[in-house]
Amino acid sequence: MRRLFSALVTASDEYDFEVDENSGALTVEFEEPRAKFVVSPNAPVRQVWVSALTRSFKLDWDAARQEFLLPDSGQSLLELMGDVISKQTGENVQL
């Protein structure tokens, strides 16, 4: 989560969104078009839950890769967030 927060803060100036951390959860807010994404750790089940673009994503911890991944695609948390922010902003965002 710290790595994601750092990447989001770096990207926030270029792509015009706000990032906040509160009690371990991250929020990413956009003014135009208005939207709010939430990234929440769920430590008991070793998952990270992402709410973005009117969808929910549940990423599982992969011990071999040492990162959270979407089970169906193998996409990492950073890749997923780059994709959803890209769709929101209309720009190619790499985190």
Domain regions of the chain by residue span: 2-89
Q: Is 59 helix (H, G, I), strand (E, B) or coil?
A: strand
Q: Is the whole model's pTM more than 0.85, yes or no?
A: yes
- Residues above pLDDT 90, as percent of the chain: 91
What is the side-by-side order of every strand in the sheet holding 35-42? 18-22, 25-30, 35-42, 47-52, 55-62, 67-69
Letter for the amino acid at 25? Answer: A
Taking the C-alpha atoms of residue 7 and residue 34, their distance in angstroms, rounded to an integer, is: 21
Per-residue pLDDT of 54-87, as tens digits, reads 999 999 999 999 999 999 999 999 999 999 999 9
Which CATH number applies to 2-89? 3.30.920.10
Q: With 90 as the cut, is the pLDDT of residue 6 above it?
A: yes
Name residues whose C-beta falls within 8 Å of residue 83's C-beta, 6 or more positions apart in sequence: 75
